[in-house]
Structure 1
Amino acid sequence: MATTPTRTDTCVLAVTGTADARVRVTSRGGPFRVITLATGGGVARVALVPTRALLLAGDAVEVDCEVGDGLTLQVQETSGTVAYDMRGGSASWSFAARVGVGSRLVLDSLPWVSSEGSQVTRSTTVDLGASATLLARETLVLGRSGERPGALESRTTITRAGRPLLVEELRSDHLAPQRVLDSVLAVGTCREPGAGSPSPLRLETGDRLWRRMGREAHETAAALDPVWSDLVRARRRPPP
C-alpha cells in the first residue's frame, strides 16, 4: 500500500439487555448513522447509513461492535461501499465484533467495490463466546464495469474464546481473471439450506463457507441468495 491512512473514524455499536427484557442499542462516532429498525425478544436489527462518501484516500474507517450475552444483532448495510481511485494514496476499513455467550450476529453486507486506482486494507474480526453463532454475507467486486481492479487485501479472522476457527487473507490478484467473489459464512448454526443449494466448504470445526466466483455480481448472487435466506431464518445451534 502506498501510504498510511490518516483520518481514523470509529463507529462504536453495542447491544445490551436480556432476551426476556428490553434490548438497548447504543452507538457513537464514525461515518455512519446507526438506525434501529426493530427490537424485541432479545433481537435488535440495525441499519448502517453512511453520512459521507466512502472510501477515500486517507480514510481509516473502524466499526467496533459488542453483542451482550443471549442477544441477537442483525446488521444491515443500506448501500454498498465503493473504494474510489486514490491517486497513489491508500485507505483501510475494519470491522471488529465481540459476540457474547449464546448470542447471534448476522452481518448482511452489500457489495464492496474496489475501483481502479484504489488501494485498501480491509479486515473483519469476530470473537464468539460459547455457543454463539455468526452468519456473514460478503461480496467483493474488483473494479467497476470496464475498469481494471483496485488493489485490495482482505483479512478475515473468526475465533471462539480466542481460539481460531477461520483465518484467511485474500488479495485482489488472487482472484484474477474473475472479478467477483461472493461468500456466505455460517458458524455455529446447523440448519441446511434447501434442496438444490450449492455445496459448502467444510471447516475443521464443521462450520460452513459457501463461495461463488464470476464476472458479474448478479451471477454469483443467483446461486447464494437462497442459501443466505434459508440460513438467516434458522435458529442457532443448541449448546453442546
Structure 2
Amino acid sequence: MDGMTTQGVRATARIEARADGRGGTALPVLDGEGPLALRRTRSSGTEARVTLVGAMSGPLGGDHLAVEARVGPDAHLRVGSAAATIALPGQAGGEARYDVRLDVAEDGELRWLPEQLISAGGSELSVVSRIELRRGARLVFREEQVLGRAGEDPGRLTSRLTVRHDGRALLDQELACGPGAPGGWDGPAVLAGRRALGQLVVVRPEFEEEPPPARLLGEYAALTPLAGPAVLVTALAPDALLLRRIMDEALHDLT
C-alpha cells in the first residue's frame, strides 16, 4: 500500500482462489491493505468464502482503492462485505476511485455479492468494474447503489461495468448520477426519482442454449438476456431494503 498521501489513501486488496485437489477451494493469496481488510469465513461445500471488512471510513475524496480477485479452474469463490460502503467527501478533496478487477478461469465460479454502495452528499466517486471470464466460467455479480443517506441529496457517482466472456464483450455500460452528471439522470426515462438502483449479472454455460426469457420483475425491474450465456437484471426502488428484496428474488430464480 502507498498509504496516506496528500491525495488520499492508495490501497489494493488481492484474492486468489484455486482448487485444492480434494474437492474444495484454497486461498493462496488473501492480502488486504489499509481500509481493505479481508477475512476468510466458514466455507460451504466446494466454495471458499471471503468477507471484505472496511477498516476505515471511505472511500474519501482523493482515495484510490482497488479489489482484485482471480478464480482458477474448478475453484469456487464467494465474496461479500461486512457492511455498506459509504462514499464521503474528504479533506484531500477531489474524486475518489474504486476499482474492481475480477478474473474467472474455465470451469471456475465467482459469486460477487457485496453490500450496497452509498453515495453521500458532497462526495465524488468513480467505480470501475472489469470482469474477464473464460469459456465455461460461472459468475454472479451484484451491484447496488444508494443515492444519498436518509433525507440527503446524493454526491456525484459514476459507475462503469465491463464484462468480457471468452475474449468478447458481453456487457459494457456506464451510469452517472448526482451533481455534475449529464442532465436528465433523475428524469422519468432514467431513475424516475428512485434513489436505489441495482444490477445483477448471471453467467452460466447452460444459458448458451436455453437463456431465460426477457421479462418484467416489477414496475421498475426487468430481466434481459445478453448476447452470450448471460442475463442482466436491472432494478430501481425507493429504498435499499426494497431493492435488496427484488435482487434476492431474481437471484433465487436464476440460480
TM-score range, shorter chain: 0.7 to 0.9
Match of 2:104 in 1: 99
Show structure 1 runs of 5+ residues with no match: 235-240
Task: Name the CA distance, whole Å, in 2 between partners of 1:135 and 1:5.
Answer: 34
| Preserved CA contact (<8 Å) 2:160 2:173 | yes
Deviation at 1:133, TM superposition (A): 1.1
What residue in structure 1 maps to residue 52 of structure 2? Answer: 48
Runs of 5+ unmatched residues, structure 2: 1-5, 187-192
Structure 1 distance, partners of 2:54, 2:104, is 24
1:223 and 2:225 are equivalent in the alignment: no
> 2:32 corresponds to which residue?
29
TM-score normalised to structure 2 length: 0.80
- C-alpha separation in 2, matches of 1:171 and 1:114: 12
Q: 2:143 aligns with which of 116, 120, 138?
A: 138
Number of the residue aligned with 2:226: 203
Of residues 86, 89, 92, the one that matches 2:94 is 89
How many percent of aligned residue pairs carry the same amino acid? 27
**Per-residue deviation, 1:19:** 5.4
Kept after mapping to 1: 8 A contact 2:101/2:130: yes
Alpha-carbon separation, structure 1, partners of 2:168 and 2:7 = 30
Contact 2:217 2:223 in 1 (8 A): no
2:198: which partner in 1?
182
The answer on whether the counterparts of 1:10 and 1:62 sit within 8 Å (CA) in structure 2 is: yes
State the TM-score, normalizing by the size of structure 1. 0.85
Aligned residues: 228
* Paired amino acid for 2:64: A
Residue 9 of structure 1 corresponds to which residue in structure 2? 11
Across the aligned residues of Structure 1 and Structure 2, the Cα RMSD in angstroms comes to 2.5
Residue 70 of structure 1, CA deviation:
1.0
Counterpart code for 2:12 = T
Name the SS of the counterpart of 1:200 in structure 2: strand
Alpha-carbon displacement from aligned partner over 1:43-90 (angstroms, at most 9, x marks no partner) = 211111111112112210001111111111100111110001347422
8 A contact 1:86–1:119 mirrored in 2: no
1:237 corresponds to: none
Separation (CA, whole Å) in 1 of partners of 2:226 and 2:82: 30
